[in-house]
Amino acid sequence: MNVKRVLFVCTGNSCRSVMAQGLMQQLLARAGFDSIQVESAGVFAIDGMGPTRETARVLLEAGIDCSTHRARSVTIAMINDADLIFVMEPFQGEELLRRVPSARANIHLLKTYNAPPPAEGERVNIPDPIGKPLEVYEVCFAEIREAVQRVVKSLGVRST
């Protein structure tokens, strides 16, 4: 698949999808790979809201500045234009499919993408850290980093 657009989707577009977008953009830039556009949105975002303080902090510690990020609601055009769409929880994928049923093949759970099958009872979602302590954001970020690295590798990009 010739991937030109990747879309990360969470609920409010102020935590998880922001982390995933920032990480993927950083990995692609480090690899000198500029032909893939990376975006993020939320299924129930409040347009214009900034990232949470905790999100900004964990990203800054990884060398990623998200200070200009503003939340936006996912649109039908975004869904149609994306080659790969990654959601954090199954309900987000269901919401996207409700809006654009033909996008099924492009929608994936980020945590399980290109990963070994989950063990019985293993969580397949990346839980929403909103309103929780910084440590929860750090765990969330680590899970997202691992998954985004798999995505980048699957695209044939050599990450550094």
pLDDT (mean) for 36-58: 97
| Strand partners for 101 | none
Confidence band for 15, pLDDT divided at 50, 70 and 90: very high
153 CB-near residues (< 8 Å, 6+ apart) = 114, 159
Map out the domains of the chain with their CATH numbers.
5-154 (3.40.50.2300)
For residues 71 and 12, the answer to whether their CB atoms sit within 8 Å is: yes
Beta strand 5-10 pairing with 107-109? unpaired
What are the distances in angstroms from CA 18 to CA 57, 90, 101, 102, 119? 12, 18, 25, 25, 28
Confidence band for 2, pLDDT divided at 50, 70 and 90: confident
What's the token pair of residue 54? 């905790």
